[in-house]
Amino acid sequence: MSLKEKELLSFFTFMIALMVQLPLIAADPEDIQYKISQTDSTLTFYGSFRTNSSPDCLFEIFLNYNHIKALASDGMEVQLVDQGNDWNLIRYKFRRFIFFENISEWQRKIDRENQVLNIKLVSSVNNQTAMPGMISSSGFYKVREQGDGIIVEYHQCCQLTKTLFTELFIKILRNEAIHFIEKLAEYSNENCSD
């Protein structure tokens, strides 16, 4: 078996194992809502949930390195690269098994006037060419008052390179996004209780 064939076999094995580990979780429609759209190489996720947490506490969760690390998925290493008063640069290292690794850096910046924290992909590198690469990705967290509560909105759009595994990878990203909004809602309610 050639090195290229071994690489593809390893990647395919990884993707199947990852799909088994990330089942699609049904969200409670009263608490969490989400909408997903996709093309052959782009995934757009919009999620929201209602909370009684204060906006200041929510923005602390969205920006603080310790909270970001606590919210990271399994198999992900999180490192604070740089930070200022209302921004930071976070490096994520995602590893599965011994053969796949992605390192990406994301800038987060708060726009307090508009109650938004913007997120932008700065760089992304894979160690396997068979793995779809991130061409671009950006999004935001938005906090808005509604009635006697707060609505937290999370939006992310990710464009990937086209490879043999792009469609499969987009399905995995869908599951991770749904899991993330559910985890964020639970974590926010636990850590921002009055």
What are the 10-residue block averages of pLDDT along the chain, 194 residues in total? 45 41 38 89 93 93 94 86 96 79 94 95 90 92 92 95 84 88 94 78
pLDDT of res. 89: 97
Q: Count Cβ atoms within 10 A of the Cβ of residue 154 and give its class: 0-12 exposed, 13-18 middle, 19 or more buried.
A: buried
DSSP code string of 77-144: EEEEEEE-SSEEEEEEEEEETTTEEEEEEEEEEEEGGGTEEEEEEEEEEES-TTSPPEEEEEEEEEEE
pLDDT of res. 9: 39
pLDDT of res. 166: 83
- pLDDT, one tens digit per residue, over 10-62 is 444 444 443 433 333 333 444 799 999 988 888 899 999 999 999 999 999 99
What domains can be seen in the chain, in order of their start residue?
Answer: 3-71+112-120+130-191 (3.30.530)
pTM of the model: 0.80
Unique residue bearing structure tokens 């779809």: 132
pLDDT of res. 57: 95
Question: Which two three-digit tokens encode residue 161?
Answer: 């390179």
pLDDT of res. 151: 95
63/135 Cα distance (integer angstroms): 24
| Residue 75 CB contacts under 8 Å (≥ 6 apart), including other chains | 94, 95, 96
| Amino acid, res. 29 | P
3-state secondary structure of 176: helix
